[in-house]
Amino acid sequence: MRADGVVLTRFGGPEVLDVTSIDIPEPGPGEVLVRVTAVSLNHLDLEIRAGVSRLPIDLPHVLGREVVGEVVAAADADSPWSAGDRVLVLPHVVCGRCRNCLTGAANICLRGWMPGIHGWGGNAELMIAPSRGIVAAPDLDPVITAALPISFGTAWRALHGTAHVSTGEWVVVAGAGGALGHACLQVAALAGARPIALVRDPARADFVRRCGAEEVVVTSEADWPERVRTITGSRGADVIVDHVGGANFEGSIRALADRGRLVVAGGHGGEFPQLDVVDVFRRELRILGVRSQRPDDIEAVLGLAVEGRLTPHIAETMALKDVRAAHDLVASRSTTGKVVLQP
């Protein structure tokens, strides 16, 4: 059947994005057809579009990893889903059977399927989703729901599943005004930790304080690792969530307390920072990677969002036809929170 959608037929700048009429196949066994009501943008969408994601993307491709919608039809007669069900398509559908899934690391499932990466995503009016990869949408605005899984689910995995953050610990959050950053501040504050927000732009200070930051360090104005040492009584941070990489990663090493945990969640600011391994072993620093989310992380953040204890900030909602402007907005890194498209 035909639907409006944005199909990538080549990699490049925002000019490769156009809304056209696309052919969506009938759902096959184990699949459902979903009418998309909201889909949020991630930096990864921009990297995939530009062809620099280091992921195997087959063209033509449809982006869109965080999708909320309504079931149109399920292929299987005994499907738990039926027309009209409001659903969230999980951004990471895990197999449940591989060695990582069986050892508590489903977030790095060896056979995981991600909409918008391994198959067509939600930058279209309709998408096909695996029946076992959708969950009932919570009782929230679809735009809010679409803003939760990746930022808040990853923040939950980083701080609880990876760093095991405790009450009273100093938690530094890099890029604190962005989508993942503002989620980490809220998750850290909810855990009773003491969040320190790193922002480049002082205009974001009020926003990050509203997200739970106890202290704000403007990285463009200060030797930020030194500021963190001052704030923490010269000890350094117990936990740092750094998805920036590059020079920020080097600063994170300096800002960590002895035996501190550095959670690496990305590296868009530089994938090959300098690392002094002597500093790592003499001070027993822990460098921990985190990727993606487990289904129970998403369940946890959806529940807390319904209770009003976690609140994604929506930078902008835009129509699908404005997809180029939406990519420009995310690329500008000037937004606070998430950009969401409504096909």
**Residues found near Zn ion in the complex (CB under 5 A):** 94-95, 98, 101, 109
Complex with Zn ion: residue 108 or 306, whichever CB lies closer: 108
Residue whose CB is less far from Zn ion, 232 or 293? 293
- Complex with Zn ion: residue 102 or 319, whichever CB lies closer: 102
Q: Where are the beta strands (DSSP E) in the chain?
A: 2-6, 19-23, 31-40, 66-74, 86-89, 126-130, 134-136, 170-173, 194-199, 215-218, 237-242, 256-264, 286-289, 314-319, 338-342
Residue matched to tokens 């998805």? 243
Exposed, middle or buried by CB within 10 Å (0-12, 13-18, 19+), for 59? Answer: exposed
Report in angstroms how near the CB of residue 26 gets to Zn ion at its nearest. 27
Q: How far is the CB of 102 from Zn ion (least distance, A)?
A: 8
- Taking the C-alpha atoms of residue 317 and residue 37, their distance in angstroms, rounded to an integer, is 11
Q: Smallest distance, Å, CB 149 to Zn ion?
A: 18
CA distances (Å), origin 123, targets 75, 109, 137, 267:
22, 25, 18, 25
**CB of 165 within 8 A of CB of 159?**
yes
CB of 110 to Zn ion, least distance (A): 5
Asked whether the beta carbons of 337 and 315 are under 8 A apart, the reply is: yes
Shortest CB 152 distance to Zn ion, Å? 22
CB nearer to Zn ion: pick between 98 and 306: 98
Measured CA angle at 302 (ends 156, 187), to 5 deg: 30
> Between 11 and 113, whose beta carbon lies closer to Zn ion?
113
The amino acid present at 231, given as its one-letter code, is I
Report the nearest approach of Zn ion to the CB of residue 203 (Å): 43
Residue placing its CB nearer to Zn ion in the complex, 36 or 94:
94
